[in-house]
Amino acid sequence: MKDLFEQMIKAMGEDLSRPGLVDTPARAAKAYEFLTSGYRMTTEEVVNDAIFPTDSNDMVVVKDIELFSLCEHHMLPFIGKAHVGYIPNGQVIGLSKVARIVDKYARRLQIQEQLTTEIASTIQEVTGAKGVGVIIEAKHLCMMMRGVEKQNSSMKTSAMLGYFRNNLSTRNEFLSLLQ
Ligand SMILES: [Zn+2]
């Protein structure tokens, strides 16, 4: 990506030999490698066997997971929070692993709707939960810095699987725990 950033900076009309920019292509390449590192993570290594038996049937909710992603339409950041809930079916997943699953799908080119769905189906797949709910609220820099320039708009998306989709009281319990 370093060569491509060089070309991009030149195309912007900048002088690549200027001291502040000399190392920028290499730095930007490294930054983007990190911001897209989700492509190179497997669910298996992210979860790392942190699945534990439980007798509980009570809802587990992990709130306010910070989220940084790149919109696939403009390659500009979108930034927000994910809230994840599930009802265990004999096993729970380590808390930090929920956040790592969020990172796996956030660190790539994304649209918020798909990110939400991918997190929900991965939690479902690795825990075998009776139901999963994911809500993401995010601000998109492509809307804030350009285009309609709406500084304060945020987008909310949700994905509901199993009990969360079929059972109104489960869904309401989830939503009330997020208040
Ligand atoms: Zn965008």
Q: Say how many Å lie between the CA of residue 168 and the centre of ligand 1.
A: 33
How would you class 112 by CB atoms within 10 Å of its CB: exposed for 0-12, middle for 13-18, buried for 19 or more? buried
- Check whether 91 has a pLDDT greater than 90: yes
Residue 88: pLDDT band with limits 50, 70, 90 = very high
Q: Across residues 68-86, what is the average pLDDT?
A: 97
Instruction: Tell me, yes or no, if 74 is annotated catalytic.
Output: yes
Residue of 110, 112, 118, 124 with catalytic role: 112
Written out in words, the top-level CATH class of the domain with range 50-177 is alpha beta
Instruction: Tell me, yes or no, if 112 is annotated catalytic.
Output: yes
- Secondary structure (DSSP) of 72-114: TTT--EEEEEEEEEEE-SSEEE-HHHHHHHHHHHHSSEE-HHH
Can you give the pLDDT at residue 135? 98
**What is the model's pTM?**
0.94
Residue of 73, 113, 114, 125 with catalytic role: 73
Residue 116: pLDDT band with limits 50, 70, 90 = very high
Can you give the pLDDT at residue 115? 98
For the chain, the structural domain boundaries read 2-35, 50-177
Give the C-alpha separation, 167 to 161, whole Å.
Answer: 10
pLDDT in tens, 120-165: 999 999 999 999 999 999 999 999 988 777 777 889 999 999 999 9
- Percent of the chain's residues with pLDDT above 70: 100
Instruction: Tell me, yes or no, if 140 is annotated catalytic.
Output: yes
Cβ atoms of 115 and 107 within 8 Å: the answer is no
Residue 111: pLDDT band with limits 50, 70, 90 = very high
Can you give the pLDDT at residue 147? 78
Residue 105: pLDDT band with limits 50, 70, 90 = very high
